[in-house]
Structure 1
Amino acid sequence: MSIAGFDTARKLVHERFPQARAAWLGGSTVLGTAPPTSDLDITVLLAGPPAPYRESLRYHRWPVELFVHTESSMEYFLATERTARKPTTLRLIGQTQILLDSDGSGAYLQEKCAALLAAGPEPLGVEELRAERYGLTDLLDDLVGSRDDDERLLIAFGLWRATAELVLTGHGRWMGSGKWLHRELASFDREAGTDYSHALARGVRSVAHGTIEPLVGIVTRALHEFGGPLFDGFKADGPG
């Protein structure tokens, strides 16, 4: 972890939020994966207004992302993100360094979020799995049928995301957005001895160079791990 980043984050919290109940520094700065352009992800817990809000700013030349919560707004985001299986707030509190803890809530919430992260998301339901298989099958058919290079590349990106999500949710793992989806898949590969993250990336690069077969192969492999392609017989109920 960057000592300069930690000290800067702590100064910001003491300067801007003297009445804060707790504050945490999370993200790649703490996890040790920060590139040169990385920002400081700071979550702050207040007793009330002006929370909740989010703000992006620069502080002592550091780019900063502020996530300012009340206890109720934090619980809302924790519940919503767990349902979506994308634990942004869980990570921003559970995988952190505590910057301030005036009432014990800093350590308590850090431990709670870390435990929820370790427990993983709710298992994928039968209908959810069928819907993911159907969506992935549809995208795969689009790729095979397309004759437009630009269209194929855009479909390939959709296949990368949908395949990663199927593999992760099908194995009871958290998902993510953007780079975090790739990182979650790479983490799964290391533990499971698979190569989905690299194979999918290679597949997308192959499509960019005019060859679809490597991507078709890895997507088909993932589909067969969870029951195979699905089109005939798929049915989804509309809203009640």
Structure 2
Amino acid sequence: MKRNDPLEVARKIVEKHFPTCQGALLAGSVVRNEATKTSDLDIVIFDSQLEASYRESLKEFGWPVEIFVHNLISYKSFFKSDCERARPSLPQMVSEGIILKEGGFIEGIKKEAQELLDKGPEEWSEETIRMKRYFITDTLDDFIGCSQRAEELFIANALADLLSEFILRTNRKWIGTSKWNVRLLKRYDEKLADAFVEALDLFYREGDKHPIIQFVEDTLKPYGGRLFEGFSIGKKKEKWQQ
């Protein structure tokens, strides 16, 4: 069934539910020309009268809708927390969003969001890289040693998530979840992303673990390879007196 024009629908939703707001944006897959038959509308609202931010889901005019409502201060804490976890959901929505209603400040917030995206996430410390190497090694060992197909599938999924994060964060790139993992990997290095997908696909189709194992080892090699022996978290150094 053909759905109504997303931009027209988004404007109607703002007029219906947020008539006094000072600003509104339409974001998400529809503005990136990536919408599918199950895509929803992401709408960001700015309302200076709002005491606290909130998120709401509804269905209007044939579309599922996700609404993210902020006042003129609350969005800043979301920008900050999103960037700290290296998943800039709100900055991305604001930056890419099509303006539905402009109260004289939306362009400024969009610029603020884009500057955060351009800056990229904070660089991982050597300690963090070492910790991530250990967790990837531990999961890889589980994967190699496992002989139960059902368990192998779930371990492979966990390994894919850990490795996607490692590749992106060690190169100071933003991370995501689910479909965004492969999208962000392709933005960073399409050839590498294709090799990763091919290794996973071969395992899922034929049960061949070797391409994944090799891909993991090639990824960790520049950072010292697998890590298990000697790794420690939280151990306090003893102070010996003469």
Say whether the fold is shared (TM-score over 0.5).
yes
C-alpha distance in structure 1 between counterparts of 2:32 and 2:68, whole Å: 18
CA contact (8 A) 2:51 2:71 kept: no
Question: Residue type matched to 1:43 in 2?
Answer: V
- Pairing 1:1-240 to 2, within 5 Å after superposition: 4-49=5-50, 51-102=52-103, 104-190=104-190, 194-195=191-192, 197-208=193-204, 209-237=206-234
SS in 2 for 1:18: coil
The alignment's C-alpha RMSD in Å is 1.8
Question: Residue type matched to 1:199 in 2?
Answer: A
How many corresponding residue pairs? 233
Give the Å deviation of 1:32. 1.2
Match of 2:239 in 1: none
Which sits farther off after the overlay, 27-36 or 70-79? 70-79
C-alpha distance in structure 1 between counterparts of 2:26 and 2:12, whole Å: 12
Give the Å deviation of 1:175. 0.3
SS in 2 for 1:107: helix
C-alpha distance in structure 1 between counterparts of 2:108 and 2:101, whole Å: 12
Which sits farther off after the overlay, 45-54 or 168-177? 45-54
Question: Residue type matched to 2:210 in 1?
Answer: E
Give the Å deviation of 1:3. 9.2
Give the Å deviation of 1:180. 1.2
Give the Å deviation of 1:212. 0.6
Q: Deviations over 1:50-90 (max 9, x none)?
A: 64211111111011111111233211211111111011011
C-alpha distance in structure 2 between counterparts of 1:76 and 1:3, whole Å: 34
CA contact (8 A) 2:4 2:61 kept: no
Question: TM-score, structure 1 length as denominator?
Answer: 0.91
Any gaps of 5 or more consecutive residues in structure 1?
Answer: none
C-alpha distance in structure 2 between counterparts of 1:142 and 1:128, whole Å: 21
Give the Å deviation of 1:21. 1.8
CA contact (8 A) 2:123 2:169 kept: yes
Which sits farther off after the overlay, 23-32 or 223-232? 223-232
